[in-house]
A = this chain, B = another copy of it.
Amino acid sequence: MMIKPSIPKGTRDFGPAVVKKRQYIFQTIRETFELFGFQPLETPSMENLSTLTGKYGEEGDKLIFKILDNGDILGRAQQAKDSRELATLLCEKALRYDLTIPFARYVVMNQHELALPFKRYQMQPVWRADKPQKGRYREFYQCDADVVGSNSLLNEVELLLIYDRVFSKLGMQGYEVRVNNRKILSGLAELIGKPELLTDITISIDKLDKIGLQGVQQELLDRGLSQQDVDIVNSFLQIQGNNQEKLQQLQVLLQSSPVAQKGIEELSYVLNSGLANFNSPPIVDVTLARGLNYYTGMIVEAKGPASVKMGSIGGGGRYDDLTGLFGLPGLSGVGISFGVDRIYDVLEELQLFPATAQQSTKILFLNMGEASMPVAFKHVMQLREQGISAELYHEPAKMDKQMKYADKRGIPYVVIIGESELQENNVSAKNLQTGQQDKVAMDDLLGYFYCLVS
Contact = CB atoms under 8 A, between A and B. Distances in A.
5 contacts: A7-B47, A8-B93, A36-B389, A68-B91, A90-B90
Contact of A40 (B19, B39, B43, B106): B19
Contact of A155 (B20, B117, B138, B394): B394
The count of identical subunits is 2
Nearest to A104: B5
Given A7-B44, A65-B67, A389-B34, A395 B86 contact: no
Interface in A109-123: 109-110, 115-117, 120
B11 A110 contact: no
A337 to B, nearest CB: 18
Contacts of A404: 115
A127 interface: yes
A70 B77 contact: no
Contacts of A394: 117, 147, 150, 152, 154-155
Contact of A77 (B80, B93, B277, B374): B80
Interface in A349-393: 360-361, 373-374, 377, 381, 384, 387-392
B13 A40 contact: no
A154 B44 contact: no
Given A5-B105, A13-B109, A117-B394, A42 B19 contact: yes
A117 B43 CA distance: 36
A326 B5 contact: yes
A14 B39 CA distance: 11
Interface in A14-65: 14-16, 19-20, 23, 34-37, 39-48, 50-51, 62-63, 65
A327 interface: yes
A440 interface: no
Contact of A70 (B19, B62, B108): B62
Nearest to A376: B275
A82 interface: yes
A73 interface: yes
A139 interface: yes
A412 to B, nearest CB: 13
A304 to B, nearest CB: 24
B67 A41 contact: no
Given A389-B35, A394-B152, A394-B154, A11 B74 contact: no
A6 B74 contact: no
A268 B363 CA distance: 29
Contacts of A36: 384, 389, 391
A14 B41 contact: yes
